[in-house]
Amino acid sequence: MPESIVTLEDFLAVGKQDHLKDAHELTHVLIQLSLAAKVISNSVRKASLSDILGASGNTNVHGEQVQKLDEYADTVIVEMLSKGGSVCGIASEESEELISIPKHYETGPYVICIDPLDGSSNIDVNISVGTIFSIRKKRSEGRDAQLTDVLRPGAEQCAAGYVHYGPSTMFVFTSGSGVNGFTLDPSIDEFVLSHPDLKMPSPGTNVYSVNEAYMRKWTAGQQKLVHQFHGGQDGSDSFSSRYVGSMVADFHRTILRGGIFMYPGTRDNPKGKLRLLYEVAPLGFVCEQAGGLASDGKQPVRNIHPEDLHQRIPVFLGSPHLIKLAEQYLARN
């Protein structure tokens, strides 16, 4: 392999991130996640050719229809992490309770929160989907992770990231010292460093990303914020709008180009849709490490103390000046 190519395994082994040098088990978790990502990527790529598209017939803890690929991705990640020996518990969007590691496997110090296949309602129409992960260190005594190990603020994450199954598959993560992105090279089946030390451009593009169909249900502050993005009466400051409806894809564009991604609450449902532990906190960590801000509209999401595994929270991710603008509008109205 040419020397100029840096695979994810090289990157983690060489310990380019100093604080990871001694954290063998953390690097092991990241490798296990990247292996799971390759397996899921293969299935996503040929989904239309196999019998894996469509609903599984089950509903999840959120009352949402589960897609066959949701279940498959969940199984792949949970099995990969369970047998890896570095993990002591897993919280998944697909499981109501914290998942314990079977007794015949070793456990390790890390507890993982995952959204195995985010945006899966898009899969049948061949639109990008993603996997989101968040890694914390266990604080309790004993072999198995306890709920108290998971219900910790995002500020305590050791590492977090996502896999973007788009035109190419990317593995993007932070372990607290910047963000690095790796693109899956199908010819060698390796994630190769393609986006070293990824930083959100400043000021970045004027793009806002939100499901505007909910506008009539928003608070006045949220409505006025988006009116501001539509441009003043003289047409100044107008923005473009982009909304895939797959958070990983919308977020990936936001950290590469700048702009703002929002999933606000509504008057009837102030907490919105997205889940704190395995969607908002991890992408918030990545966002801040890339130079952006991550807010619930009032405060940084990293400071929020989760109360339950599947807690929802409004979210604003992106360029610092736009997140501050959103907070100002929401505070006034």
**Region near Mg ion per CB under 5 A, out of 50-58, 67-75, 110-118, 285-293:** 110-118
Candidates 84, 108, 116, 119; binder of ligand AHM (CB under 6 A) is 119
Residue 80 structure tokens: 């990969």
Q: Tell me how many residues contact ligand AHM (CB under 6 A).
A: 13
Q: What is the DSSP letter of 234?
A: T
Find where tokens 């899956």 sit. Answer: 184
288 binds Mg ion (CB under 5 A): no
Q: Footprint of ligand AHM on residues 226-245 (CB under 6 A)?
A: 245
- Of ligand AHM, Mg ion, none, which one does residue 229 interact with (CB within 5 to 8 Å by kind)? none
Candidates 64, 124, 144, 185; binder of ligand AHM (CB under 6 A) is 64
Q: Taking each helix axis as running N to C, give the angle between helix 24-45 and helix 68-84, from 0 to 180 degrees, rounded to the nearest 10.
A: 150
Shortest Å distance, C-beta 284 to ligand AHM: 14
Whether 29 contacts 84, CB under 8 Å: yes
**Region near ligand AHM per CB under 6 A, out of 23-31, 117-125, 300-308, 314-322:** 117-125
Whose Cβ is closer to Mg ion: residue 71's or residue 118's?
118
- In angstroms, the CA 176 to CA 7 distance is 20
Shortest Å distance, C-beta 240 to ligand AHM: 18
288 binds ligand AHM (CB under 6 A): no
Q: Footprint of ligand AHM on residues 172-211 (CB under 6 A)?
A: 211
- Of Mg ion, ligand AHM, none, which one does residue 205 interact with (CB within 5 to 8 Å by kind)? none
Candidates 273, 306, 314, 327; binder of ligand AHM (CB under 6 A) is 273
Q: What is the DSSP letter of 91?
A: E
- In angstroms, the CA 20 to CA 81 distance is 19
Q: Which residues contact 114 (CB under 8 A, 6 or more apart)?
A: 74, 77, 90, 91, 92, 93, 131, 132, 133, 134, 278
Candidates 78, 172, 207, 247; binder of ligand AHM (CB under 6 A) is 247
**Region near ligand AHM per CB under 6 A, out of 33-41, 97-105, 116-124, 166-174:** 116-124
- Of ligand AHM, Mg ion, none, which one does residue 173 interact with (CB within 5 to 8 Å by kind)? none
- In angstroms, the CA 88 to CA 74 distance is 17
**Region near Mg ion per CB under 5 A, out of 20-28, 108-116, 161-169, 284-292:** 108-116
115 binds Mg ion (CB under 5 A): yes
Residue 1 structure tokens: 């392999």
Report which residue type is found at 11: F
118 binds ligand AHM (CB under 6 A): yes
Characterize 112-132 residue by residue with b for buried, 16 or more Cβ atoms within 10 angstroms of its Cβ, and e for exposed: bbbbbbbbbebbeeeebbbbb
Checking 233-241 for CB contacts under 8 A at 24+ apart, the result is 237/206, 238/206, 239/206, 239/207, 239/208, 240/205, 240/206, 240/207, 240/208, 241/207, 241/208, 241/209, 241/210, 241/212
Helix (H) or strand (E) run with residue 42 in it: helix 24-45
Q: How many CB atoms lie within 10 A of CB 58?
A: 13
123 binds ligand AHM (CB under 6 A): no
Shortest Å distance, C-beta 310 to Mg ion: 11
Candidates 70, 71, 74, 118; binder of Mg ion (CB under 5 A) is 118
**Which residue, 282, 253, 268, 265, is CA-closest to 326?**
265
Whose Cβ is closer to ligand AHM: residue 131's or residue 157's?
131
Contacting residues toward Mg ion, per CB under 5 A? 115, 118
Contacting residues toward ligand AHM, per CB under 6 A? 64, 93, 115, 118-121, 211, 245-247, 263, 273
